[in-house]
Structure 1
Amino acid sequence: MNRTPEIFALNNFTEFRIQMLNWSNRFNVFCLLDNQHYNFSAPAFECLLAVGSKKNITLQSGNAFEKLKHFYKENNGWLFGHLGYDLKNETEKLSSANFDGIGFDDMHFFVPDVVLKLTEKEVYIFCDDDAKEIFDAIQSESLSIPVNKQSDLDIKNRISKTAYIDTIQKLKQHILRGDCYEINFCQEFFAEDAVIDPLYVYHKLIQLSPNPFAALYKLDDKFCICASPERYLKKEGNKIFSQPIKGTSKRDLVNKENDLQNKNYLSANEKEKSENVMVVDLVRNDLSKVCKEGTVKVDELFGVYSFPQVHQMISTISGQVKDNIDWIDIVKATFPMGSMTGAPKKRVMELIEHYEQTKRGLFSGAIGYINPDGDFDFNVVIRSIFYNASTRYLSFKAGGGITFYSDAEKEYEECLLKAEAMRKVLE
């Protein structure tokens, strides 16, 4: 693929974005990364879209990272794809035996036929074919958002409220015994015999809950419809940084005074701050494995950011990577992300496997890209709807960090709060 893009002026960003998504749906594989007009750390684009697959690699945990290295050396350019949570089985010598209704592989990356990078005023097209032809084909697409074709969905909880609260009590006993300090525990909501139009659901989800690390990812018959607010890891030159989220409170868009109180609650609440600090320490430890000594630092601690559904506490940790280190080794040393596991990592992942009822799969994994310069950016796959069009199985998960001071009822309510946008979109 040509490393130098052709650039075309955009008359209407919003219209072109709809046309671009409608055009992308003709491909078996595509990956849209969508910034949703947030200005966290001066984004290089508003949308990045990869369509078609010249070459790809699909892997299960075992020797996946090493095989990805060989694949990348042979295809040193744009690469898009995902890292599934169960790569933990390779990084920490663990195993997974829980039910998985969706079926994403542990790892998949593809070399795209076409990459489109959108800013507000321009589109950059990277391809080997005629870029003008592609631009014209997109502009000839419909301006309509797909209509809702979904069946009535019967969304069920995988575990009951009583079972959830009982599990939290058991996890707190593990913390009391010193097995762990904090554990991220999640539950699944699911529907069987579900018929949805993923493009329609994506448009609806980001309308209700626009977030800076949104993504729409299609891999043949499997879809991830993602409205994530969280970055896992970004590399820019010799710098990497991670932005874990720990701490959530509800928005009140009707009463501004209440909304401000909810926001200030995060900054003042010792439990929320202690959770955040634990994850920051874990991320600092992970980054120190691949960064030059003395360069890992906390750029922002306890930053509170407001999103349409919730306020979130976000910290930023950065470091300078060691010379001549492979980007894949950076990912391997830090994956899965600490905000979705807890501490210490290996033990809590054993407990997660024991107490959660289903495999996480792509949930709490990452979707992202590597550019021709070897820089990358990956999100944390949360606030996401997963859909297998062949089996008609639909799933979304939500959870939170459990500490000894966690109130099980409140944790359950926080779970429902995080799942609210997904449930609203589907119902």
Structure 2
Amino acid sequence: MKIQVTDIESFKQKALQWAAAYDTCCYLDSHSFKDPYSKYDLLIAVGAKAALKVNNGSAYEQLEAFRQMHTGWLLGFFGYDLKNETENLSSANTDGLEFPDLYFFVPEILITIKGEELNIEGADEHILQTIQRLPLVVEKQQMPVNFTSRFNKQEYVATVEQIKRNITRGDIYVTNFCQEFYSEKAFIDPLFTYRKLKDISPTPFSAFFKWEGNYIICASPERFLAKRGNKLLSQPIKGTARRDSDEAKDEILIEQLRNHPKELQENVMIVDLVRNDLTRCAIEGTVHAEELYAIQSFAQVHQMVSTVACTKRGDISDVTTIRNTFPMGSMTGAPKVSAMQLMEKYERSKRGVYSGALGYFAPDRDFDFNVVIRSLLYNSTKNYLSFHVGSAITYHADAEKEYEECLLKAKAILQALS
């Protein structure tokens, strides 16, 4: 059912509040960023007719069967530790959240918006009246959250220097080293926190995901993998610079990022890794970089983004395509397995959903998944609140600057909770 909507912003606010009242919901907001590959400006899925919740071991196999059983919409996420299912890896670090490694659900109601056109599945037009009549709840005052880091600054800097010694030895070329900030007694309103995060940091792969009292509050700027017809595309981000309120200074920061040897080196290494991953799913000779070193500007930071694409082989399923390319190269490093092994050694907590992917499989066999970064993860039963930040470490990395980059990436999250 297709309907014209005029006041999109008002509808979005009320629809988010409506969706958050369900036990299970997924709210994906592109914030109208210009993206030639985006099919929807907004996607809302609520209620679970069926769900799959599993940990690594046979997760992809179970998802394959679940996908064959449910050929319509599936919304959900892949956790980073699914790497242990596809490679000879393990994870023994602290896990305060206790989220599953994979969760997908079949929605009862699904709403999409593109431009001013709204489409509803699983309900009639009366659902719009229900949403539009909702009074917006006034924002609540939240108690401040005190976070603890798994690393202090000195420990972080010392660990980066150890990683650089691994690079000098030739164990790896580049890696993504991450640290967790957490609170074990956090009492937040997830809906209001997401609203504030959206206002502070609108991003093209923003998400609010809820199931069984658990929440993913996401302001991701990065696409992991999408399928459009028989085309696959990935858009790794590597390279970060702060924004400046002075327009002239901001332009200088963009140019510095565009020409910074270390940032260019990071980006091209990951592009090569993504190209290699895609060859496992691609028709021979079709993998190529559509765009290198593009600069995208967001509220908090400038990012260097490249686009890698290929034509998908017809004999490989969508789930196998994800399996062959996951986790995403921008969050691992190169060589991929060696980098993941080392980060398990140096990091002090499981990444879980962080460094994973969240998104949808559609009835037309397309799919789209983000990279779960710039995100708050909340277990409301345990009152455990967590976010990770990371940065790419190469031979030329300056440990002090990498630490500052981590804090820059955390800025919007901390503001949303202040």
TM-score relative to the length of structure 1: 0.96
Report the Cα distance in structure 2 between the residues aligned to 1:103 and 1:207, rounded to whole angstroms: 29
Q: CA deviation at 1:42?
A: 5.0
Tell me, yes or no, if the aligned pair for 1:239 and 1:318 is still in contact at 8 Å: yes
Counterpart residue type for residue 179 of structure 2:
Q
Matches within 5 A, 1:291-306: 291-306=282-297
Of 121, 133, 136, the residue aligned with 1:143 is: 136
Equivalent of residue 227 in structure 1, options 219, 226, 229: 219
- Deviation of the 1:192 alpha carbon: 2.3
Q: Could you tell me whether the CA contact under 8 Å between 1:149 and 1:197 is conserved in 2?
A: no
2: CA distance between counterparts of 1:66 and 1:149?
Answer: 45
CA distance in 1, matches of 2:174, 2:402: 13
Is 2:233 the partner of 1:238?
no
Amino acid at match of 1:132: E
Counterpart AA for 2:235: Q
The residue aligned with 2:82 is 87
Q: Distance in 1 between matches of 2:284 and 2:24?
A: 40
1:393 to 384, 389, 392: 384
The superposition leaves residues 304-326 of structure 1 with CA deviations (integer Å, 9 ceiling, x where unpaired) of 11111001000000000012320
Aligned residue number for residue 43 of structure 1? 38
Q: Could you tell me which residue of structure 2 aligns to residue 3 of structure 1?
A: none
Instruction: Indicate the residue corresponding to 2:402 in structure 1.
Output: 411
Contact 2:167 2:395 in 1 (8 A): yes
Which position in structure 2 is the counterpart of 1:366? 357
Alpha-carbon separation, structure 2, partners of 1:165 and 1:276: 22
Structure 2: which 5+ residue stretches go unaligned?
none
Shift of the 370–382 alpha-carbon distance from structure 1 to 2, 3 Å rule, reads: same
CA contact (8 A) 1:296 1:320 kept: yes
Q: 1:134 aligns with which of 123, 127, 130?
A: 127
Secondary structure, aligned partner of 2:192: helix
- 1:21-36, aligned counterparts within 5 Å? 21-36=16-31
Deviations 1:202-223 (A, max 9, x none): 1111111101000000012110
Return structure 1 stretches of 4+ with deviation > 2 angstroms: none
Look up the match of 1:54: 49
Structure 2 contact 19–27 (Cα < 8 Å) conserved: no
Contact 2:79 2:355 in 1 (8 A): yes
What is the alpha-carbon distance in structure 2 between the residues aligned to residue 74 and residue 120 of structure 1?
32
Matches within 5 A, 1:324-335: 324-335=315-326
Aligned 1:19-418 pairs, distance under 5 A = 19-127=14-122, 130-144=123-137, 146-253=138-245, 255-418=246-409
Identity %: 46
CA distance in 1, matches of 2:171, 2:162: 12
Q: Residues of 2 paired with 1:109 and 1:224: CA distance?
A: 14
The separation in 1 between residues aligned to 2:258 and 2:146, in whole angstroms, is: 38
Q: Is the 8 A contact 2:22 2:47 kept in 1?
A: yes
Structure 2 letter corresponding to 1:142: P
Distance 1:11 1:265 in 2: 41
Amino acid at match of 2:401: K
Aligned counterparts of 1:117 and 1:163: Cα–Cα separation in 2? 46
- Assess if the C-alpha contact under 8 Å between 1:149 and 1:196 holds in 2: no
**Cα offset, 1:103, TM superposition:** 1.8
* CA deviation after TM superposition for structure 1 residue 257, in Å: 1.6
Secondary structure, counterpart of 1:53 in structure 2: strand
Shift of 1:63: 1.0
Q: Deviations over 1:153-186 (max 9, x none)?
A: 1122221000000000000011111110001001
Q: Answer whether contact 2:264 2:293 (CA < 8 A) is retained.
A: yes
SS in structure 2 of the partner of residue 316 of structure 1: strand
Query: Using the alignment, how far apart are the partners of 1:227 and 1:233 within structure 2?
Result: 17
SS in structure 1 at match of 2:327:
coil
Distance 1:285 1:154 in 2: 42
| CA offset digits 1:80-135 (Å, max 9, x no partner) | 000000000001121111111112100011111011001332321011xx412322
Write the letter of the residue equivalent to 1:381. Answer: V
- Distance (Å, rounded) in 2 between the aligned partners of 1:365 and 1:106: 9
Task: Give a deviation string over 1:134-154, Cα, whole Å, max 9, x none.
Answer: 22211221234x512422211
Q: 2:37 and 2:181 mapped to 1: Cα distance?
A: 35
Structure 1: tracts of 5 or more residues without a match: 1-5
Q: Name the CA distance, whole Å, in 2 between partners of 1:304 and 1:290.
A: 28
Once the two structures are superposed, residues 326-346 of structure 1 have per-residue CA deviations (whole angstroms, 9 ceiling, x without a partner) of: 001100000000000001111
1:148–1:196 CA contact under 8 A, matched in 2:
no
Higher deviation after alignment, 195-204 or 41-50: 41-50
Indicate if the aligned counterparts of 2:329 and 2:336 stay in contact, CA closer than 8 A: yes
Assess if the C-alpha contact under 8 Å between 1:60 and 1:105 holds in 2: yes
Aligned length: 418
Provide TM-score, normalisation by structure 2: 0.98
**Aligned mates of 1:232, 1:298 — CA distance in 2:** 15
Aligned counterpart, 2:2: 7
